[in-house]
Structure 1
Amino acid sequence: MSENPVQLDSGMSKTLHNGLEILELLVTHPRGLTLTEIAEEIGVHRTVAHRLVRTLEAHRLCRRDRFKRISLGNGLVRLAEPVEQDLRTLARPILEELTELTQATAHLVVRENERQVRMLMIVEPRQARMHVSFRPGQVDPIDRGSAGLAMLAAAPAAPDERAEITRARGRGFAVSYGEIAPSVIGVSATVPDRDPAGGVSIGLSLFEAPDEDRLGHAVVDAARRLGQLLR
C-alpha cells in the first residue's frame, strides 16, 4: 500500500477510494497481483475487488495477463501525458548540460510497464564529429540496455536477475554494450526518490566509453539534480 495511506472520511467516495487504492497497490507490484491478493491488501471482499478491477480494466487502467495476474494498464500513459510534459520541461536543461559535458547523446527514459521502457526525450550533442541517434517514443525491453537495467537495479534484488543488474546496484549506475543497437554503449542512472515501478532514468548513448566511472558519475549527478527538481 501507499507509504502515506489516505484516511477515508464521510465526505469521500469509498468506491473511488478503493479503486485508487488498487492502482497505488499495483504501482508497488510491477509483476502483478492476483484478485485474491488485491482483495486482502485493500481489505474488501473478493467480489467487490472483482467489480473494481473490471471497472479499471474497462478504462484500461489495469489489465490481466494469461496467468490472471493484474497489473497497471496502458491507459495510465494517456493520463500521465501532462505530467510527462512537465518532466520533459524540467529535464531538458539537465540533459543539454550532460550532453555538452560528455559530447554524447543524452536521454530521458521512463518505465512503460513491467517489461518495457520508453524513450521520452533525446538530446544530441552539437559539436561531436559523430553521435548516436534515437527516436523519441522508442520502446525497448526493460532487461536490455542501461536504462532498464538501472531501473531494475533500483528495486530489491531478484533471485534470477542478470549479473549486470547486481553490478549496477553496487555502482549506482548501469552500463550496457550493444544491447539496444549494435556497437552502442549505454550508461544510465535512475532518478532518485521515484518508485522503481514507475521509474525514470537519465543516461548516455555513445560509441566509446574509455572511462565508465566518469560517465557513470556524470549521469548519477544529472539524475540527482532532476530528482531534486521533482520533489
Structure 2
Amino acid sequence: MEEGKSTVRAVERALDILLCFTERSEWAMTEIAEKVGLHKSTVHRMLATLEDKGFVARHQSTERYRLGLRVWELSAHLSSNDDPAVRLLPELERLRDLVGETVSLYIRDGNQRIRIQAVQSNQAVRRVANVGVRLPLYVGASSKVLVAFADEETQRLVMEDPSWPPSIDRTQYAEQLEQIRRLGYATSIEERESGAAAVAAPILNRAGKLSAALSVSGPSGRLTPESMREHAPAIIEAAKRMGMMLVK
C-alpha cells in the first residue's frame, strides 16, 4: 500500500513540474524546484526522467528546460469532438474575419481564466493573444462572463475567494454581473491592460450550461463603447452557434 502511495506521489510531482510550463515556456531547474516546493535533487531526477521520455528538453548552453516534442505528439491526437479549442476554431476564424479583431476562447479554472484558443487579427495594430495564458477572474470582459453565467455556487466561491483584491467592490461587481446577464454580453476598457478593450459573450452548450467565454479584443481606439455595441449581436450569435456544437 505504501509503495502504491509513493508511486502516485511521484506521478503528482512529475505533473506539477510539467504544469509549470503553462505559465512560461522556459525554466531553470532551481526555478522549478522553488515553484513546486521540492528539493533540487528530486526535481533534477524527475527532469532527467521527463527528458529521457521526451516530455521536456534541456538547452545545452543555458541549462534551461522547455517542453519536449512528446507533448506535441500527444496534443496532435486530441479529438476535435472532445476539445472545444479544436472544434470551434473555424467559427473563431469566421468571427475574426467578420469583426476584424482578435478572437479568443476562455474557460474558468478556479479563480482564474485560461485562454485555450485564439485567432489573431490581421490588422497591423492588433491585440496579440497568447494561448495558455492565465488571467484573474475579477477583471476583463471574459472573466465577468465566466462568473455571470456560472451557477450560483461557483459565483459564491469566486466572490468569497480570499485572494479577491480589496480595491474591487464586491457589491458593484455583483451589480455588473446582473447587467451582463440582462444584456447577454460584457465589455471592458483598459481594466487589465492599458490601451486594450474587449467584448465577450457566453458559450452555452446544448444543455444550457456555461462552457466557455467568447471574446473579441483589440486596441481601445478601435474597440470603443459604440463599436463594441455594434459588434455585440454578431458575437452573441457566434457564441450561440458554437454552443450548439458542444454537448458539454
The alignment's TM-score, normalised by the length of structure 2, stands at 0.55
Aligned pairs for 1:24-173 within 5 A: 82=78, 86-113=83-110, 115-126=111-122, 128-155=123-150, 156=152, 160-161=170-171, 162=173, 163-173=175-185
Aligned pairs for 1:187-202 within 5 A: 187-193=199-205, 195-196=209-210, 199-202=211-214
Equivalent residue, structure 2, for 1:226:
242
- Whether 1:180 and 2:173 are equivalent positions in the alignment is no
CA displacement at 1:218 relative to structure 2: 1.7
Moved over 6 A (4+): 57-60
- 3-state DSSP of counterpart to 1:136: coil
CA displacement at 1:99 relative to structure 2: 0.8
- 3-state DSSP of counterpart to 1:132: coil
Unaligned runs of 5+ in 2: 13-74, 160-169
CA displacement at 1:145 relative to structure 2: 0.7
Between the two proteins, the alignment pairs up a number of residues equal to 153
Residues 140 and 180, structure 1, Cα contact 8 Å, conserved in 2: no
- 3-state DSSP of counterpart to 2:195: coil
CA displacement at 1:83 relative to structure 2: 6.6
CA displacement at 1:130 relative to structure 2: 1.4
1:40-73, Cα deviation, whole Å (9 max, x unpaired): xxxxxxxxxxxxxx9xx9787xxxxxxxxxxxxx
1:133-187, Cα deviation, whole Å (9 max, x unpaired): 0211110111111111001110347694503322211100111111232121111
Q: Pairwise CA RMSD of aligned residues?
A: 2.7
Amino acid at match of 1:182: S
1:65-92, Cα deviation, whole Å (9 max, x unpaired): xxxxxxxxxxxxxxxx847872122211
CA displacement at 1:229 relative to structure 2: 0.8
